[in-house]
Structure 1
Amino acid sequence: MNQSNQEDFQKKIKIRFHDKKLLTTALTHSSYANERKLSRGKDNERLEFLGDAVLELIMSDYLFHTYKDEPEGKLTKMRASLVCEPTLAFCAKDLSLGDYLLLSKGEDLTGGRERDSILSDAFEAVIGAVYLDQGFEEARKFVETYLLQDVDEKVLFYDAKTSLQELVQSFSKQPLTYELIKEDGPDHQKTFTVEARLGEKVIGTGTGRSKKSAEQTAAYEAMKHKDGILR
């Protein structure tokens, strides 16, 4: 990573790393390390492993103390929704994290900077790097700032298709379907647009890098305006 990119990212997250190599490693995808024949441990996979564990503890502590009356099962479900790949990728995109990643030329050309799996892993790797460089409390602040905003909305997004199906079944006999209405872009970097339909009525529209992602977004948009569906 060049110096200006590293400086820009540190300003964005408002953290100055003592060990800049930790940040570089957190943003180095395995494809780049392999392409450059870097030595083992120079990609972000080990930091992602650590960040995943740190994130789970932070989330468990937050949910335990915030939702004091919720049973263990509900807390487990909420935690799963907040640390799942789509949610972490969504947070990574808010940070424009993909712009700072070191990827191989092939991975870059095939849309790696927008790929949920790469972004979610890098987000966890950054958490791991912050934890090692700054300690647990700074890692907690990072998670609170970039993940624990709009928790209820993120939980809703994770469960959107299931929640919408349950809502529709509770008041309507019309079928809930998802219709692909548009595909844009080259084969390696397609964008899909899907409509959620109740019978013939369009109740939500979503766009994503996969059909599944687009359906989830369409369901989420429908759930956000569920009062209109119920009329």
Structure 2
Amino acid sequence: MSLEQKLGYFFFDKNHLKRALYHPSFDGETELPEPPFDQVAYGVLGRSLLAAVVTEFALRSGCDTIETIAHQGAQILEPQRLQALQEDLCLEFYVKLSPAAKADGQSQDPTVLQETFEALVAAVYLDGGYSSMRRIVKHLLVDPVLGPTEAG
């Protein structure tokens, strides 16, 4: 099963998917379309998008104070849940690392996998818009915590 199948989203512009998967350590074993062609900027955008979507779903589920929103967000973005999701998506097989980083075991590093997931969120947003990205985040992260009806 491909990463796109696991995400439930098929990219119109595969360059967004490729860029989300190129870790900064990747040493250019092949020609890349344009420098810099790595996930760093996508990761920054992805973190912001995740925060926005999680806050939206917390509000839609009835949270109305900063404390309840923060609590709900912490449940949705709980590190062990994110790590399990990254394992389910098999991100360690898709992320592009330098040979040295691979040998170091960075393809299994939770931080590398989280950055890759955040970059994927941004890639979906840039390729298919907010509603596509929102649908994927809802399906992968929100529904397992809030349930499909609570999340809106």
TM-score by length of 2: 0.83
Q: Aligned residue for 2:59? A: 64
* Structure 1 residues 6-17: aligned runs within 5 Å: 8-17=2-11
Does structure 1 residue 97 correspond to structure 2 residue 91?
A: yes
Q: Aligned residue for 1:119? A: 113
Q: Aligned residue for 2:28? A: 36
Q: Aligned residue for 1:45? A: 40
Measured after TM superposition, the shift of residue 111 of structure 1 is 1.6
* Structure 1 residues 73-222: aligned runs within 5 Å: 73-83=67-77, 85-151=79-145
Distance change (3 Å), C-alpha of 1:24 and 1:69:
closer
Q: Look up the equivalent residue of 2:95 and give its one-letter code.
A: L
| d(CA) in 2 for partners of 1:69, 1:27 | 34
Measured after TM superposition, the shift of residue 36 of structure 1 is 1.9
SS at match of 2:11: coil
**1:163-207: CA deviation from partner (whole Å, max 9, x where unpaired):** xxxxxxxxxxxxxxxxxxxxxxxxxxxxxxxxxxxxxxxxxxxxx
Q: Look up the equivalent residue of 2:104 and give its one-letter code.
A: T
Extract unaligned runs of 5+ from structure 1.
1-6, 153-231
Between Structure 1 and Structure 2, the one with more helix by share is: 2
Q: Look up the equivalent residue of 2:109 and give its one-letter code.
A: R
**1:20-41: CA deviation from partner (whole Å, max 9, x where unpaired):** 1110000110111xx2286543
Extract unaligned runs of 5+ from structure 2.
147-152
Task: Select the structure of larger CA radius of gyration.
Answer: 1
Cα RMSD (Å) of the superposition?
Answer: 2.1
Between Structure 1 and Structure 2, the one with more strand by share is: 1
| d(CA) in 2 for partners of 1:85, 1:46 | 22
The 8 Å contact of residues 25 and 98 in structure 2, kept in 1 or not, is answered as: yes
Q: Look up the equivalent residue of 2:43 and give its one-letter code.
A: E
- Could you tell me which of 13, 17, 26 is aligned with 1:23? 17
Q: Which has the higher contact order (CA 8 A, sep 6+)?
A: 2
The 8 Å contact of residues 85 and 117 in structure 1, kept in 2 or not, is answered as: no
What percentage of residue pairs aligned between the two structures are identical?
26
TM-score by length of 1: 0.56
